[in-house]
Structures are given as C-alpha cells and as structure tokens.
Structure 1
C-alpha cells in the first residue's frame, strides 16, 4: 500500500519565504503567461517597422496593438468564465495557446491594416482563456497563505514574456538584416520573421499543458454550482473598488509597455534594437521584483484577513510622481531610473489586484468573476490606453512630445483609481476572504 501523497493545498510548510510554489504546476502556467505576453508585445517592439511597412498613423498603430486585441478578448471572456468553472482547465488553456499561436503567424503575414487588425483580434480570442483558468488553478492548489506568491510567479511569467520579446527580439533585430533572404522568393522583413518564429514554442507548450492534471475536473460528481448574482450583490462595493483601482494600474502598465520603446527612440534618439533591449532588461528585472514583493506582502496581510486594497493604494500613490518624471524629463538616465521604479511599483499593485480577487472570491465562482474582471481591466489597459496615447500624440502634443501624451493618458487613470480606493476604504478595511468552506 502506497502512502497517500499530501495535497499541496493542505500540506504544512516551514516558515520563511521560498521561491518555489507549493504546487509545481504554477511553473507551467507561468511559462504559458510568458509566451502569451511575448506574442502580445512583439508588436510593441517592432511598432516603428510595422508602421512604416503598412503605412499606419500612430492612432492606427495604437488601434491595431490595443483595441483590436482587446475587443475579442473582452467578448470571449464573457463566455470563458462559465467554462473555467466547469471544464478541464489545462485542456482549455492548451486550446487557447494553439489559437493565439496561429494568430501571431497571421500578424506576421499581414499586408495591410485590416489583416493586421484581424490577426490581433484572433490573438485576443485565444488569450482570453488563459488568466481566468490559470488563476483559478493556482488559488485551488496553493495554500491560502501562498496564493499571493503563486500569483506573483504567474505574473512574473508575463513580465519575462515582455522582457523576452524585447530583449531576444531586439537582439534578433540587431543581428538580422532589414530583409531576410529565406530562399523562398523575395526577402522577408525582419519583423515578419519574428512573428513566425514565435509559433514554435507555443506548439511545445500546448503539448505539455495537455499533460497537466486538473484535480477538480473529471470526477464522478460535477462541481457544485454557486449563484453568482447574490454573492456580487453582497460585496458590490468591494468588487467595484478593486475593479476600478485594478483597471487604473493595468492602464498605466500597458500604456507604458506599449509606448516605452518608441518613447526612447523618439525623445533620446536610441536605435530601435538598443531601445528594445534596454527596456527589456528593465522589465525583466524591475517587474518581477515588484511582483514578488507584492505577493509576499499580500500573503502576510492575508493571514490577518486584510485585503490587498492598501497595497494597490500604495502602488498608485508611489508611482504617480514616477510617471510624471518619465513623461516630462529630457535626461536619459533619469528617465530610465523613473521607468524602472515605475515598473517595480506597478508590479506590486498588479499582484495585489489579481491575488486579492482570488482570495475574496469563493472557489466555485472564481472563473465567472475573474473572466469579466480581466475583460474589464484589459479593455482599459490595451483597448483604451495605447490608442489614446497615439491619438494625443497625433492631434494634441505632436510626435516629438510622446512623453506628454503618455502622462496625459495616465493621469485620469490614477485619479479614478485613487478616488475608488478612498471611497471604498470601508469595504477594503474588512476581512476580504469568504468563509473557509467557500474559499477552498
């Protein structure tokens, strides 16, 4: 008779902080997040080349990068939530990986705005399944006082995905000629080659994801359904405050990520490849540090029943002057320092938002709550932020004042997030976790 394998959710662990998650499947989910964001941010790296080859304006470029992606992401999320609460989640994620891998290839083959927008739209369709399913798995398999840590590892995957797209992609751009001879006719633009290469790791990851078990699915008894509307009605104030504040954090994060490389090129005259690699290093170092810090702080406060709203509030207050510095300074060293500190501080707020949402939501409702929540914050972060910056640069400040446009787009988000948290302080000051039987 073999001894029973301890459930990582219930197993005791020694004190102290460990990088390793209690459930090893978090690593595979983090890898999926890495590839998702690498595919999402290749367009930001090669934005100047895409703009030139497809004859796009800044507004059209922002529309293709953000709005086209998020439109289908938001719509698909409405259908994904119930699926996450009912079906085998790793298989659902594997299907999404295959869809967004093909979409990345389509972006690389695009010959005009319409085709590029379509590729970005299908990318959003495939990636809509990932985060709701992954966060539900992490919250179900990690111990309650390590959910923040598990989510921080998962979000670090997104950060490394951005960094990988920028550093590896920037390095390849520096090595490859502007047009790559592939022996199949006319040479192919280097940015198109990057999109095509991104498909290969997606195929490998989809195969690995199919082997990941889902202990909550496939049993003899279906998961018990819990009514969503009564729960949301009871906790509407808390969810509203977290949603608005989380949207603010996401908008600033994604607009900064979408335009930082172009800002470094335009304001400081850096080559595209150098700007991409430089920003990639900043993202790869500063963001994981912020996310791990946020996860550890949240786990400590979660043990005492405190929500993550205070961490989000601190994140917004601390990064507001950094965003202003980045948008206004003409000194490269100061801009880079502000950018690194901004990415670090926003990483704390991002983890507090996503992990706090899981802690305050019952297990049977996490898919149906997280999916529309992700649609909301992604709609603002990707669909509103990047094209708004492009529109302000085109029509108000001019291309040379991109930093002013970036700051002008971020300030309303900061204001809305801070007001929501201050007005919702009476909700955020109470214990956020539902009853223990519902949470696990």
Structure 2
C-alpha cells in the first residue's frame, strides 16, 4: 500500500521533458569506474565528510526507529499500535518540514556566498538533535517524550535532500550517478546496517539487560553525534575548496 502511490506517480515522468545537460564535455560516453574512484580520491576529504557524517546521522535515526516501539512499550506502557499511529503522525509533519528546512538553510547560506553552505546545513542536523537524543531515553512523561522525539525527528530528516545536492555540486556531470552510488552504499552499510545492529549489540552484550535499552540509545547517540559533527568540521574547508574548483571548471567551459 505504501509503495503503490509511487508506482502510479512514475507515469508522470513520461510527461517531463529531458533537460539539456550543463557542464558536459566530450562525447558523453560513460566514465570508467576507476576514473570515478580516482576523482573521488582527489577530493576524498570533501566526499568522505559527507558520506561518513550523514552515515552517523542515519545510524542514530534508523537504529532508533527500529527499536522505538520496544522503547515506548517498555518504558511508557504504550500499546504497539498506539506507538505506530503516534509516531506516524509525528513523522508525517516533522519529516517533510525537516527536509524542507535542510534545503532552505543550504540555499540561504549558499546565496550569501558560503562555499561550505551545504556542509553547514548538514552539520545543523546533529547539532539540532544532540540534546533531544541525549535526554529522550530518560524522560518519564510520555507526552514530553513524544514532543522531544518530534523535535529530534525534524533534524534527523533535514540532511536527506541536502546530502544529494552537496555531492552533485562538487561532481562533474558525467560522474554524478556513480558518486551517488558510493554515497548510498556507505550510508546503507554504516547507517541502515550498523545502526540497528549497534543498538541491539549494546543492549545484549554491553548492558546485558533489555530493560536497559535506554542506555543503549544514549550510548549510540554519544558515539554518532560527536563523530558526525567532527567529520563535518574536518571536511568543511575541503568541501568549500571543491565547490570553488567545480565552479571555476564550469565557468571555463561555459557550463
């Protein structure tokens, strides 16, 4: 049922005219993977900061979502169905708003001349959900817990669109698909794979008690939030330099 609207909407793609490519040179033939990896390596710091930083965000966000029903059932005595409905309604509002906020912030900073605009917009996410993530596991009032989670969910969703835009801005036209695939692989393995695994591992093998799931939430946040912020800070100047170089290249070829 969730996927059906997406399948129906794909029909609309046939009504969209293919836009002309900008910044393309040569014959337009596909670029070998080794050349893409070489280019990735030449700007490794800029690319890695995005891949790793967003992966930390995904690890906390997706890891938490997987165990969220257990958390509210065990610590707030809610029925699983009520957890699903409540979180679904919250996500319906905070998810899209967070997504729009991330794009708005990146565009606003970029228009002001900040070449590191997209990194700063990405870094706003862990800065925004840091305190909620540290405090949520210990909030006893159920309503307050949901309000804090909504605030956290807003920021956790904010990097989703910005990350893809940030990669395309520093990548030549012909390499964007392959660079994006590297990013998706990284976030899938570290974020969507390691996040839930780490939370379960902490609960079973470090704390050894399923009733200490709240401590596992805290530990995951204490790892991913500082690493995410630190990674964005580490790659900020390299990303700004990569933006300037790509802008200069496009200007030189009239793209």
- Shared fold per TM-score greater than 0.5: yes
2:102–2:122 Cα contact (<8 Å) kept: no
- For 1:405, the equivalent position in structure 2 comes to 216
Give 2:8's match in structure 1, choosing from 205, 213, 232. 205
Matches within 5 A, 1:255-274: 255-274=63-82
Give 2:170's match in structure 1, choosing from 360, 368, 378. 360
Give 1:333's match in structure 2, choosing from 120, 130, 143. 143
1:324 deviates by 0.8
RCO higher in structure (CA 8 A, sep ≥6): 2
Matches within 5 A, 1:65-104: none
Matches within 5 A, 1:170-249: 201=4, 204-205=7-8, 208=11, 211=14, 215=18, 223-226=28-31, 227-249=35-57
1:291 deviates by 0.9
User: CA separation in 2, counterparts of 1:204 and 1:369?
Assistant: 26
Matched, 1:309 2:119: yes
Scaled by the length of structure 2, what TM-score is found?
0.82
User: CA separation in 2, counterparts of 1:346 and 1:207?
Assistant: 27
Scaled by the length of structure 1, what TM-score is found?
0.49
- Shift of the 362–203 alpha-carbon distance from structure 1 to 2, 3 Å rule, reads closer
Matches within 5 A, 1:31-180: 35=3
1:343 deviates by 0.7
User: CA separation in 2, counterparts of 1:431 and 1:297?
Assistant: 20
1:252 deviates by 1.4
Q: Secondary structure at the match of 2:117?
A: coil
1:371 deviates by 0.6
Runs of 4+ in 1 over 4 A off after TM superposition: 437-440
1:256–1:406 Cα contact (<8 Å) kept: yes
2:116–2:240 Cα contact (<8 Å) kept: yes
Q: Secondary structure at the match of 1:270?
A: coil
- For 1:300, the equivalent position in structure 2 comes to 108
Alpha-carbon displacement from aligned partner over 1:146-196 (angstroms, at most 9, x marks no partner): xxxxxxxxxxxxxxxxxxxxxxxxxxxxxxxxxxxxxxxxxxxxxxxxxxx
- For 1:291, the equivalent position in structure 2 comes to 99
> Structure 1, unaligned stretches of length 5 or more?
1-33, 36-200
Q: Secondary structure at the match of 2:158?
A: helix
Flag the structure with larger Rg. Answer: 1
